[in-house]
Amino acid sequence: MAKDSVTVLNFRRLCCIVLVFCAWSFISFIYWCHYYGPGYSLYQKMELKQNQINDLLAFPSAWNQLAFSSKPPPKLLKIALFVKKWPHRSQAGGLERHALTLHLALAKRGHELHIFTTSSNSSFPRYPISNLYFHLSKPTAAGYLDQALVWKLFQTQNSTGRPFDVIHTESVGLLHTRSRNQTNLAVTWHGIAYETIHSDVIQELLRSPEEPQGSALTERTMKVIEEVRFFPSYAHHVATSDHVGDVLKRIYMLPDDRVHIILNGVDEDIFKPDIAKGNDFKKKFGVPESRTLVLGMAGRLVKDKGHPLMFEALKQMLKENEAFRQSIVVLVAGNGPWGARYRDLGTNVLVLGPLEQAQLAEFYNAVDIFVNPTLRAQGLDHTLLEAMLSGKPVMATRLASITGSVVVGTEVGYTFSPTITTLKTTLYRVWKDGRGDLKQKGQAARQRGLQLFTATKMAAAYERLFLCISNDENRGENYCQYQIP
């Protein structure tokens, strides 16, 4: 009997924690909506005066919108990067692609890059860049960096020649137990526990009655508390979206001058409009010319990327609407269990498998709109940025990072709540708008992409942050100041 009482008491305490946290989340959401309002744009909240000098570390918005010099700086840095995995061909996730794009760009600008990462085979990629060094170690059983071994490799390089000017870690590539005394360190977060609570709520609402109820929400609450405790062990934090920057400051209570927003960027020389390549791609994969609307999806074809939702919406629409069925085709690039299910929908859906980067650029040019039905409220998805730079409008789930940084208004695309009804309504709206409207939105999307989401913009912002972190005022350096052009 006493044991039962304790169990009930513990359950009530747990419920209280969850309710308090949900209330906290709701209040935060209300604050976000009130402060930023619908269709929030980075530029609408910027009130920078001509010739004003700003302390960059206290700059409240995305650094991508600032104009840094395209010329290599007079000061070249020695940079250490910790990343769990280095990208290999088309198998790279968002974090790995970010690491590749950013650090190759920094190496090409003349900085000395030392990359501490894992390798479990001999087919590690090679690059013809003399100032790019890889320090490889075997991953742990769980696939992570062996912290003791990689720290020893780092210390050896730190005492060879001059010490590192900056240490950069992609997420927890370098654990907080090693980072806490490093004042010249910056961590880039590609997803935090607080963000994923929205994803957990969505997953629970979409759970079928026969599926067991998960414990993700309870576990996530404790994970947030854990992160709030150890995040201060990192000197500087880079948020890849405006929403995460806001959460790190308000919810995680990090000082404003230690949180910096630098949006993800993709290679603008690869992802750009090319009508001829798009037409060739459609011919290669047998897209009928009679189809007046081509939808595209790319990435891992798994549950948390929203494919069960998309599959069901398409299944219903193809069955209930003959005109829709006769006029659309869906191109699906990627690997995963939902690929086989999409094939079951018939000739309206073409599953292409995983594509290399060059093929992916052709893929974007072949579609009229890119759709990302993700249920994961984490980071800033590269596929949306690639599509926008390719001159395509985008359609994505109404998640805070997406609506706060990417699809900030109807001029560049569409957003939807993750329900079958809302998704179908939005797809029908896209179909009704047609290629004319979509082309216009695509042009606006590309302009926004060029302003914010290029690899050049991202690399220039990180370079300036790293220069600022290593700033030496005794030598007359003023990299932490910025002159508004």
Q: What is the pLDDT confidence band of residue 36, given thresholds at 50, 70 and 90?
A: very low
If DSSP codes are grouped into helix, strand and coil, which group holds residue 134?
strand
Q: What is the dihedral of CA 249, 250, 253, 259, to 10 degrees?
A: 0
Please provide the size of the chain in residues: 485
Q: What is the pLDDT confidence band of residue 206, given thresholds at 50, 70 and 90?
A: confident
Bridge partners of 26? none
Nearest Cα neighbor of 377 from 193, 196, 192 is 196
Residue range 54-82: mean pLDDT, rounded:
92
Q: Which segment of 122-131, 176-185, 412-421 scores lowest on mean pLDDT? A: 122-131
Whole-model pTM: value is 0.87
pLDDT in tens, 42-63: 343 444 554 455 789 999 999 9
pLDDT in tens, 450-476: 999 999 999 999 999 999 999 998 898
What is the maximum alpha-carbon separation in the chain? Answer: 76
pLDDT at 91: 63
Q: What is the pLDDT confidence band of residue 23, given thresholds at 50, 70 and 90?
A: very low
* Cβ(137)–Cβ(153) below 8 Å: yes
DSSP string over 296-344: EEES--SGGGTHHHHHHHHHHHHHH-HHHHHHEEEEEES-STHHHHHHT
Q: What is the mean pLDDT of the chain?
A: 88
pLDDT at 441: 98
pLDDT in tens, 358-382: 999 999 999 999 999 999 887 889 9
Nearest Cα neighbor of 379 from 222, 272, 238 is 238
pLDDT at 145: 95
pLDDT at 52: 55
Q: Reading across the β-sheet that carries 369-372, which strands appear in turn?
A: 349-353, 328-333, 293-298, 369-372, 394-397, 413-416
CA distance 340 to 317: 19
CA distance 229 to 402: 27
Going along the chain from its start, the domains and CATH numbers come out as 56-265+460-472 (3.40.50.2000), 275-453 (3.40.50.2000)
Residue 422's φ and ψ, nearest 5 degrees, are: -65, -40
Residue range 245-253: mean pLDDT, rounded:
97
DSSP type of residue 232: G
Q: What is the pLDDT confidence band of residue 7, given thresholds at 50, 70 and 90?
A: very low
If DSSP codes are grouped into helix, strand and coil, which group holds residue 102?
helix
Residue range 165-183: mean pLDDT, rounded:
96
